[in-house]
Structures are given as structure tokens and as C-alpha cells.
């Protein structure tokens, strides 16, 4: 699990520092910076995948060995904070736990030159390697704790490149790399969910819902029953089971059986399909370490938003996948448990400087006193949280 992230000079962030939990909820008005925070996670995922700086920021076309990689929103041209950022670089530092050992990885990147300018990996109090621009050559000079040195290209972070080249424990390096790479963005598009799946035995659902039907079809009996239970929470006393209907080439399409009648994906509502796809993502054979979901309430009736919150709560944190979710819904906030407010973060943006700030909900001045007298959902709907910042 990722336990802390510090972002400096990236997009709308001058500097933010977050302590993370198992389920993290990102709230705030449009333009507050929530998507920019998810883009910072996207940068880390690209580093874990071994991509170059240019590919991480601007994207990478599909190849024989990789799927299409979408860069961050705005690409390299909009990657840096536009305030007092004289060297036009940004820095991201992230901490986590690998095999019960705390680790911290930090990287500084120059989007203009598509180069890494500094990088470091620490395990507990031990620095495993540092990397910096070589003083007299266009390379990244990497030095390990054991005084070993490597010269690498500046265009690519060293994290994946140093594997097997230094003395330090390679399993730890592999675990850190895997934690960063093993993130999954879930933003199901109803138009894709209504289509046939092209893969018959997918390990994961696609970011936009690709292979949704193929994933659900391969559930075993126990998994299917657990999955259908969530759908019944959404549509009480209606859902019997889920099945796949077949196309001309035997490809599967998602369908719900209600009271003995089949309802294929094209006739189901956007909200039902999106909920069904997000629920299916929690039963993937290859689960991610971190899952990001934007606007979790999208398409759901307010009386059913509770089900989404309960599903995230049941499947996020502990030994489960870490959740990073955004919402604009007061109803979502209304269903939070007191301890979940500890990892609910309010995003706000200064209209004069363009700087985004991130504040834990419980750290807003007067929070405990105010919520003792007013409903949290009402405060959110009225914009009290942003105005209090």
C-alpha cells in the first residue's frame, strides 16, 4: 500500500503532502485539482512500467508487447506548475511498504527536456541508490550504497533500469516497481460496456470497460454469487443472475437475468452498467495494488449511492486493493464513517495564483464543532469546505 505522497511543482500543485489510507476519497469543486492528483499517480505508474519520460507524459502507441498508454492530461507542455518554478521541473516522492519494509522513492523530472534530473530509492533508513545528472556528460549518474556506479540515459527513470545491476536486494526493488506499475484506472464507458468482449479469458477489465463481459463470464460459482449480491443491492428483488449472450463469432456480451427474462447490456441503463463494471473490477483474477475511480456516483440514483460507498469500503484497504476515488456527491459524503474522514481530502484552488491545495477533511479549522451541529452532506453541498479553506 502507498502510505504517503509528496508532489512539488506539478500541474496546479506548488507542494502538497498526503498521508494515505486504504480508501481515499477526493472531494472539492470542479477545477480544484483532483484529476491532477490522479495524473501524478499516472506518472508513477509509467515509471513502474519502465517508460521514458516522454512516453509517460505524452503517451505511447500500441505495440506488439504493450497496450496503448495514455499520457497525462495536457502532456509535457502542461506538466509543471506555472507559478514560481524557475527550473521548470516537478518532483514526486512516494512511500509505501514492501514485504513489511518501508520504502520511499523520489524523482525529479524536466518535462521540457524529457529528462530525469534526480532520483532516489530508500529502504527504511538506507539509501539504495541515488541518480543525478552527470556534471560533464549528458547521462544520468547512478550510485549505489556500495559505491557502484552506472551511466544511464537521462530520458528514462533508473528504477526499472537498475534491476540486476547492483548488489542490493533485487526482490525489494521488484516489489517497489510492481507496486507503482500495478495501478489501474477504472472509468467505464457505457458505449463500450454495451459491446461484445474481444477477449474470452481476460485477467483484467480495461480502463474504459473493455472485456467486461468476458471477465464476468469467467467468474466461478462463488465469485459470481458474491458479484450478483452487489447487483441485488443496487436493484433489490430484481436480479436473478448474470450471463453472457453470444454474438455471431461466439463473443460474449453482458446480460442480466431478472425474473427469468434476459436483459442484454444494450437495454440496461448507463448507471446499472457502470456500477456492474466497477463491481466486476473487484473480482478480477489480477487485482491491482491501487485502483483509481473518478466520480463514483455517476449514473446512480441518490438512494443507491450508499451501495457504491459500501462496496468500496468492503473492498478497499487492509489486504485489499487501495482505492483512490473522486466524487461531487453530497450523498457519498453523507455515508462516510468517522474514521473515513481521516482519508477524505478536500481540493481547493486559489483563483489568483492557480495553486491547488489538498486538506484532510478533519484538518479543516472548526470541523468537529461544525459537524456536531450540521450534516456533513449539507456542508459539502453548500460549499462550506472550500470556503473554510
Q: What does the pLDDT look like over 209-260, one tens digit per residue?
A: 999 999 999 999 999 999 999 999 998 878 999 999 998 888 999 999 999 9
The predicted-structure confidence for 120-173, as pLDDT tens digits, reads as follows: 999 988 899 999 998 877 889 999 887 888 899 999 999 999 887 877 667 888
The predicted-structure confidence for 27-49, as pLDDT tens digits, reads as follows: 998 999 999 999 999 999 999 99
Give percent above pLDDT 70 in the chain.
Answer: 98
pLDDT band at 64 (very low <50, low <70, confident <90, very high): low
CATH of region 2-184, choose from 1.10.10, 3.20.20, 3.10.450, 3.40.50? 3.40.50
> Cα separation of 100 and 55, whole Å?
32
> Cα separation of 316 and 191, whole Å?
27
- Residue 253 CB coordination number (10 Å): 21
0.85 exceeded by pTM: yes
**In whole numbers, what is the pLDDT of the chain averaged over residues?**
92
In the prediction, which pLDDT does 139 show?
Answer: 87
Q: Beta strand 344-349 with 356-360: parallel, antiparallel or unpaired?
A: antiparallel
Would the CATH topology of 2-184 be identical to that of 188-335? yes
Fold (topology level) of 188-335: Rossmann fold (3.40.50)
Mean pLDDT within 91-96: 98
Decide if pLDDT at 346 tops 70: yes
The predicted-structure confidence for 249-265, as pLDDT tens digits, reads as follows: 889 999 999 999 999 99
Smallest CA-to-CA distance from 105 within 85, 127, 89, 83 is with 127
> Cα separation of 140 and 132, whole Å?
6
Strand order in the sheet with 183-186: 183-186, 290-293, 322-326, 23-28, 344-349, 356-360
Mean pLDDT within 195-214: 91
Mean pLDDT within 178-196: 96
Domain assignments of the chain as residue spans, ordered by start: 2-184, 188-335
The predicted-structure confidence for 291-324, as pLDDT tens digits, reads as follows: 999 999 999 999 899 999 999 999 987 778 999 9
In the prediction, which pLDDT does 58 show?
Answer: 97
Strand order in the sheet with 140-144: 13-19, 2-10, 90-98, 101-110, 115-123, 126-133, 140-144, 149-152
Amino acid at each position: 500500500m502507498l502510505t504517503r505522497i509528496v508532489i512539488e511543482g506539478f500541474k496546479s500543485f506548488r507542494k502538497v503532502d498526503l498521508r494515505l489510507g486504504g480508501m481515499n476519497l477526493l472531494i472539492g469543486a470542479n477545477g480544484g485539482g483532483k484529476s491532477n492528483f490522479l495524473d501524478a499517480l499516472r506518472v508513477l505508474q509509467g515509471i513502474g512500467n519502465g517508460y521514458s519520460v516522454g512516453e509517460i507524459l505524452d503517451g505511447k502507441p500500441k505495440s506488439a508487447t504493450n497496450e496503448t498508454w495514455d499520457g497525462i492530461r495536457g502532456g509535457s507542455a502542461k506538466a509543471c506548475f506555472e507559478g514560481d518554478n524557475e527550473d521548470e521541473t516537478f518532483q514526486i516522492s512516494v512511500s509505501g511498504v514492501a514485504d513489511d519494509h518501508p520504502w520511499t522513492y523520489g524523482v525529479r523530472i524536466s518535462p521540457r527536456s524529457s529528462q530525469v534530473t534526480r532520483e532516489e530509492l530508500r529502504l527504511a533508513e538506507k539509501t539504495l541508490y541515488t541518480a543525478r545528472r552527470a556534471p560533464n556528460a549528458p547521462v544520468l549518474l547512478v550510485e549505489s550504497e556500495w559505491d557502484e556506479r552506472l551511466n544511464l540515459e537521462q530520458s528514462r527513470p533508473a528504477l526499472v533500469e537498475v534491476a540486476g545491476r547492483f548488489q542490493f536486494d533485487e526482490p525489494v526493488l521488484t516489489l517497489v516497481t510492481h507496486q507503482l506499475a500495478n495501478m489501474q484506472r477504472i472509468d467505464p464507458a457505457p458505449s463500450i460496456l454495451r459491446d461484445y468482449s474481444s477477449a474470452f479469458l481476460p485477467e483484467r477489465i480495461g480502463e474504459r470497460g473493455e472485456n467486461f463481459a468476458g471477465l464476468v463470464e469467467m467468474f466461478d460459482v462463488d465469485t459470481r454469487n458474491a458479484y450478483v449480491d452487489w447487483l441485488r443491492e443496487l436493484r433489490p428483488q430484481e436480479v436473478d443472475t448474470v450471463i453472457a449472450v453470444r454474438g455471431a463469432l461466439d463473443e460474449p456480451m453482458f446480460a442480466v437475468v431478472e425474473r427469468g427474462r434476459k436483459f442484454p447490456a444494450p437495454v440496461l441503463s448507463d448507471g446499472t452498467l457502470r456500477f456492474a463494471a466497477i463491481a466486476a473490477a473487484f473480482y478480477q483474477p489480477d487485482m491491482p495494488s491501487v485502483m483509481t475511480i473518478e466520480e463514483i456516483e455517476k449514473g446512480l440514483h441518490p438512494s443507491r449511492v450508499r451501495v457504491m460507498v459500501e462496496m468500496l469500503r468492503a473492498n478497499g484497504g487492509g489486504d485489499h486493493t487501495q482505492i483512490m476515488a473522486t466524487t461531487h456527491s453530497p450523498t457519498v459524503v453523507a455515508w462516510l464513517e468517522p474514521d473515513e474522514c481521516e482519508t477524505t481530502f478536500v481540493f481547493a484552488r486559489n483563483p489568483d495564483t492557480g495553486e491547488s491545495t489538498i486538506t484532510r477533511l478533519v484538518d479543516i479549522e472548526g470541523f468537529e464543532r461544525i459537524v456536531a451541529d450540521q450534516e456533513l452532506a449539507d456542508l459539502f453541498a453548500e460549499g462550506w469546505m472550500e470556503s473554510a479553506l
